[in-house]
Structure 1
Amino acid sequence: MTARTAIVVGVGAQQGLGAALCRRFAAQGYHVLVAGRTEAKLNKVVATIRAAGGSAEAVRTDATREADVLRLFDRGMSPGDGRAPVDLIVSNPGNNQRLDFREVSVETFEDFWRAGCLSGFLVGREAARRLVPFGRGTVIFTGASASLRGKPGFAHFAAAKAGLRAIAQSMAREYGPFGLHVAHVIIDGGIDGERLHSRFPQLVQERGENGLLSTEAIAEAYWQLHCQHPSAWTQELDLRPFKEQF
């Protein structure tokens, strides 16, 4: 059977969501283009996948740069070695930091918008350009609780994530009838990954067992979105630990 191709944009540490998505798709027989800004981290993820018998390659990509995204999709459409072109894409870049609104500079606001919204526009636009003519494919955007509401100290982050959600909704309405499944996943809670463990170890301890979102569990949800029958597509899915209040 011809191996299919997936693109995961926004891959960082081995213990992050992007890496977990790459491993999950590779386990299903996909050749995964592992895209992110830090080559050393990408290579570690690729090595882990290959050691487990999967297929992957690193593509250094700054998702806020149009030229990088175009090059990534060019590779996805012509993956080589008899592989089928890309039909599964995840836009996962993101950053988050609590900041006093009065202290947010124009440069900081723009940096968050570029990472949280512009990157999704570039990935989404190229996905539509490349896949709609084939009448198939899945595009999934990683959102956050900030996609729905702005909390104190997170105006810059919420503005970017709300914009990303609007892009996903517009794409779904425009291209769903042409066979492109566009989904937006709201991650409502802390992710049990390297970022929280390194920056907020006390929070990890306080949350206890299953108090943070497992990266592998999130990746499974993304995979199930891709597997949905076109008669019952999910456009938006929210995921949170059972302990999380909402």
Structure 2
Amino acid sequence: VVRTITAAGGSAESVLTDATSETDVFRLFDRAMSPGPARDPADLIVFNAENNQVIDFRSLSAAQFEDFWRVGCFAGFLVGREAAKRLMPLERGTILFTGASGSLRGKPRFAHFAAAKAGLRMVAQSMAQEFGPQGLHVAHIVIDGGVDGERLRSRIPEMVTRLGTDGLLNVDAIAENYWRLHQQHPSAWTHELDLRPFKEAF
């Protein structure tokens, strides 16, 4: 991603972060909010961490359930809280949380994933109601379908073959929608947006 952005003339850097670590999140924001020669403090924060796996409910361990919650929900709280603290003095900014179909409904063998995603959705709603009137745009995006990216292509290539590119969400199209949310006029802010391929049933 960094190479793609810099090759196009932009400025980007990567920072390895454990989003479930409060200390790591502090350090990340210290870096992101510090002006540099080629950058201003960040005013668009996107939380996009998740883990997913099919696990039968009867064999789901407490440790597994907690791990999915920590990555999918707790990490979102840490990032969202720090983003709100850093953006409030600017009196502007956007905080976006990536959700999934599991944010809205639980499916068999995905209780751990749905619990984390539903919790993240409530964090986003609460933040939007608290900070929206103070000038921060907080939104939750439901990604309803497979994303045509490196992870899906390497882990589940048969799904990519079965659905084809028209049956998957295009990464650039997702990014464009996120950017449009950031650019919205405050008189017409979107709080929740769902994105899916035109072939996806819902």
With the shorter chain as reference, the TM-score category is over 0.9
Q: Deviations over 1:37-89 (max 9, x none)?
A: xxxxxxxx323322221111121101000000001111122132163211110
Check the 8 A contact 2:139/2:190 in 1, yes or no: yes
Which structure shows the higher helix fraction? 2
Measured in 1, the distance between the counterparts of 2:64 and 2:86 equals 32
In the other structure, the counterpart of 1:113 is: 69
AA of the residue aligned to 2:102: A
The answer as to 2:187 corresponding to 1:231 is: yes
AA of the residue aligned to 2:160: V
SS of corresponding position for 1:231: helix
Measured in 2, the distance between the counterparts of 1:74 and 1:87 equals 13
**Where do 4+ consecutive residues of structure 1 move more than 3 Å?**
none
In the other structure, the counterpart of 1:4 is: none
Measured in 1, the distance between the counterparts of 2:40 and 2:106 equals 41
Measured in 2, the distance between the counterparts of 1:209 and 1:106 equals 37
* Number of residue pairs matched by the alignment: 202
What RMSD over aligned residues (CA atoms) do the two structures have, in Å?
A: 1.1
In the other structure, the counterpart of 2:172 is: 216
The answer as to 2:24 corresponding to 1:68 is: yes
The answer as to 2:80 corresponding to 1:124 is: yes
- Which of 193, 198, 201 pairs up with 2:154? 198
In the other structure, the counterpart of 2:110 is: 154
TM-score (norm 1): 0.80
Measured in 1, the distance between the counterparts of 2:35 and 2:62 equals 39
Measured in 1, the distance between the counterparts of 2:55 and 2:61 equals 10
Measured in 2, the distance between the counterparts of 1:158 and 1:83 equals 37
In the other structure, the counterpart of 1:96 is: 52
TM-score (norm 2): 0.97
Give me the identity figure in percent.
71
Measured in 2, the distance between the counterparts of 1:82 and 1:156 equals 41
Unpaired segments of 5 or more residues in structure 1? 1-44
In the other structure, the counterpart of 1:24 is: none
AA of the residue aligned to 1:241: P
Measured in 1, the distance between the counterparts of 2:199 and 2:186 equals 32
The answer as to 2:186 corresponding to 1:240 is: no
AA of the residue aligned to 2:90: F
In the other structure, the counterpart of 1:135 is: 91
Unpaired segments of 5 or more residues in structure 2? none
